[in-house]
A = this chain, B = another copy of it.
Amino acid sequence: MLSSACQYGLRAMIYLAQQPGDAYLPVRRISSTLDVSHPFLAKILQQLVVKDLLVSLRGPSGGVKLARASTDIRLNDIVLAIDGQKVFDSCVLGLPGCGHRRPCPMHEAWGELRSNFCSMLEETTLAAFAERTEVGGFRLTPM
Contacts and interface: CB of A to CB of B under 8 A. Distances in A.
A4 B103 CA distance: 18
A24 interface: no
Interface string A108-139: 01100100110010001000010011001111
Interface string A96-113: 110000111110011001
Q: How many identical chains are in the complex?
A: 2
Contact of A116 (B11, B105, B113, B141): B113
Interface of A: 1-2, 4, 7, 10-11, 90, 92-97, 102-106, 109-110, 113, 116-117, 120, 124, 129, 132-133, 136-142
B113 A2 contact: no
Given A95-B139, A117-B113, A142-B97, A106 B90 contact: no
Contacts of A132: 105
Contacts of A97: 142
